[in-house]
Amino acid sequence: MWGAGLVAAALLAGLLGPAAAAAGAGRAGAGPGTTGIETAGSIPLAPPVLVPLVGGTPASAGASARPSPAPSAPPAATAPPAGLGSALDPTAVRRTLAPLLRGGALGRGRSPAHVVDVATGEVLLDQAGGTSIPASTVKLVTAVSVLDALGPDATITTRTVLQHRDARAPRLVLVGGGDPTLASTDVRLGTPGTELDPASLAELARRTRWTLAARGIDRVRLGYDDGLFTGPALHPTWAPSFPAAGIVAPVAALQVDEGRARPGGISRVRDPAAAAAALFARQLTEAGLEVVGAPKRVRARASAQPVRSVVSPPVATIVERALATSDNDVAEALARLAALAVGLPGSFAGVAARGQAVLGELGIRAPSTVVDGSGLSRANQLRPADLTALLRAAGAAGPVASGLPVAAATGSLGGRFQVGASEPAAGLVRAKTGTLTGVVGLAGYLSRPDGRLLAFAVLDDTVPVGALGARRAIDVALAALVTCDCAAD
Element (H, E) at 250: none
pTM across the whole model: 0.85
pLDDT at 6: 25
Which residue, among 374, 476, 388, has the nearest Cα to 435 in the 3D structure?
Answer: 374
For residues 134 and 91, is the Cβ–Cβ distance under 8 A?
no
User: How many Å is the maximal CA-CA distance in the chain?
Assistant: 83
Cis peptide before 152 (omega within 30 of 0): no
Question: Long-range contacts of range 109-113, CB-CB < 8 Å, 24 or more positions apart?
Answer: 109/462, 111/458, 111/459, 111/460, 111/474, 112/383, 112/384, 112/458, 112/459, 112/460, 113/384, 113/456, 113/457, 113/458, 113/459
Name the least confident of 27-41, 257-271, 385-399: 27-41
Angle (deg, nearest 10), helices 328-341 and 348-361 = 80
pLDDT at 298: 98
254 pLDDT exceeds 90? yes
Binning the chain into helix, strand and coil, the percentages to the nearest 5 are: 30, 20, 50
For residues 73 and 88, is the Cβ–Cβ distance under 8 A?
no
58's torsion region: left (phi>0), alpha (psi -120 to 50) or beta? beta
d(CA 239, CA 51): 38
d(CA 383, CA 301): 45
- CB under 8 Å to 387, separation ≥6 — which residues? 114, 134, 137, 140, 443, 457, 459
444 pLDDT exceeds 90? yes
For residues 399 and 422, is the Cβ–Cβ distance under 8 A?
no
For residues 398 and 445, is the Cβ–Cβ distance under 8 A?
no
d(CA 270, CA 254): 13
485 pLDDT exceeds 80? yes
pLDDT at 33: 40
172-185 pLDDT, tens digit per residue, is 999 999 999 999 99
pLDDT at 90: 97
Up-side HSE of residue 60: CA atoms within 13 Å toward CB? 6
- Other CB atoms within 10 Å distance of the CB of residue 195: 15
pLDDT at 202: 97
Opening angle at CA 191, ends 428 and 387, nearest 5: 45
184-226 pLDDT, tens digit per residue, is 998 887 766 677 899 999 999 999 999 999 999 999 999 999 9
3-29 pLDDT, tens digit per residue, is 222 222 233 333 333 333 333 333 333
390-422 pLDDT, tens digit per residue, is 999 888 778 999 999 999 999 999 999 999 999
Across 262-288, average pLDDT: 96
148-168 pLDDT, tens digit per residue, is 999 999 999 999 999 988 788
- Other CB atoms within 10 Å distance of the CB of residue 261: 16
> What is the DSSP code string of 285-346?
HHTT-EEEEEEEE----TTPEEEEEEEPSPHHHHHHHHHHHT-HHHHHHHHHHHHHHTT--S
Across 20-44, b (16+ Cβ under 10 Å) vs e yields bebbebeeebbebebbbbbbbeebb
In 121-211, at which residue ranges do the beta strands (DSSP E only) sit?
A: 123-127, 155-163, 171-175
